[in-house]
Amino acid sequence: MASDTPQGAVRTFEDGAVRERAGAARTLASTLLDRHLGIILLLPSALTFLVLLVFPLAYGIYTSFFERHVLDPEGTWVGLGNYVWLFTNPNFWHSLLISTFWAGATVGLQIVLGTAVALLLHQSFQGRSLVRGLVLFPYMMPVVSVILVWMLLYNALYGVINYVLVQTGIVSRPIAWLSQPDSAFWSVVFVGVWKYFPFVVVIVLARLQVIPQDLYEAARIDGAGPIARFFDITLPQLRDVLLVVALLRTIFMFNNFEIVFLLTGGGPLRATMTLPILVYEQAFGVYELGRGSAIAVVMFFILIAVMSVYFAFLRKEND
């Protein structure tokens, strides 16, 4: 409080000096600067945001109201026609289902596997730093190389997986992993989990390291064994990061295109035809840009819905 007076005195002195020098001759520019300084400072980032985010999004929505293809780049206004086609098309509903399963299965397994590995890497053992580095390997490898490796591993004729399974007598004949609807879906899920679970490991491990050791000691004294300590201390402490991870991974996996497309292209028999591949098929397979945009717009709103649920949940938690 005591410092208010000298500060105030200084301000009065400066105001006086400015008044003396500039008098009434304040220019329009400086008035503008004074009044709108905040807006002017925000403008560059706001414009970037507009050009890079809002425009493509708005253009995508705009395109979804047209029948537009390579031969007709101007397009014909069809209103909600593309959406009517979409919602009455069984392929769309099938892909929505596949996408939901794909995102659910990969995210769920990534979280379980990622958390388990993080818990292991949180223990102290010889060579822990090396193992922590190696675990990141799948995440750091370019997708295309990962897919090439897994295609070789999965290969029905000379793949290592089949070789091992046949040699050990687990199966009698090689399995065509990527050519049968059921096995194709789970094979693709497996690669999705393998490629991205290190992301969960990194975040969970970071959180594990800052859980106060005191909590575990207090629980030990209170009579909690290792399992009780995991469920009563570790898991509640991880809960917040796991929710964020689940949200981020769901958005990412729901939109993921390259893993599924490069491994199976959406087949066999549409068994792995997720929505992003359906968009690709419509936009660049049969050149129906309008329909492709319409599917993308629907995906966008589905993810908005998922996020709203998440944030509503978060707000309720904080209250």
Partner 1 sequence: MATVRLDRLHKEFRSIGGAVHALRDLTLDIADGEFVSLVGPSGCGKSTALRIIAGLETPTSGRVLFDGQDITGLEPRDRNIAMVFQSYALYPHMSVRQNLEYGLRKRGVPREERERKVAAIGAMLQITPLFDRRPRQLSGGQRQRVALGRALIRDPAVFLLDEPLSNLDAKLRVHMRAELAALHQKVRTTMIYVTHDQLEAMTLSDRIIVMNHGVMQQVGTPEEVYSRPANRFVAEFIGTPSMNMIEGTLRPEGGRLLFSAPGITVPVPPAAARQGTTGQATLGIRPEDISLVPPGTPGAIPAQVTVSELAGAERFHFIALNGHSVIVRTPAATVLHPGETVALGLDPERLHLFSGAGEDAAAIR
Residues that bind partner 1 (CB under 8 A): 212, 214-215, 217-224, 228, 232-233, 236-237, 239
Residue whose CB is less far from partner 1, 8 or 236: 236
Residue whose CB is less far from partner 1, 4 or 214: 214
Question: Three-state DSSP class for 121?
Answer: helix
Residue whose CB is less far from partner 1, 90 or 127: 127
CB of 218 to partner 1, least distance (A): 4
CB of 225 to partner 1, least distance (A): 8
Residue whose CB is less far from partner 1, 229 or 270: 229
Distance of CA 44 to the CA centre of its chain: 27
Residue appearing with tokens 């904080």:
318
Residue whose CB is less far from partner 1, 175 or 233: 233
Contact 273, 37 (CB under 8 A): no
Residue appearing with tokens 């997720």:
274
CB of 146 to partner 1, least distance (A): 38
CB of 145 to partner 1, least distance (A): 39
CB of 221 to partner 1, least distance (A): 5
Question: Three-state DSSP class for 245?
Answer: helix
Name the residue type at position 285: G
Contact 155, 175 (CB under 8 A): no
Locate 17 and state its tokens: 């000096």
Locate 169 and state its tokens: 């007598």
The whole-angstrom separation of Cα 310 and Cα 317 is: 11
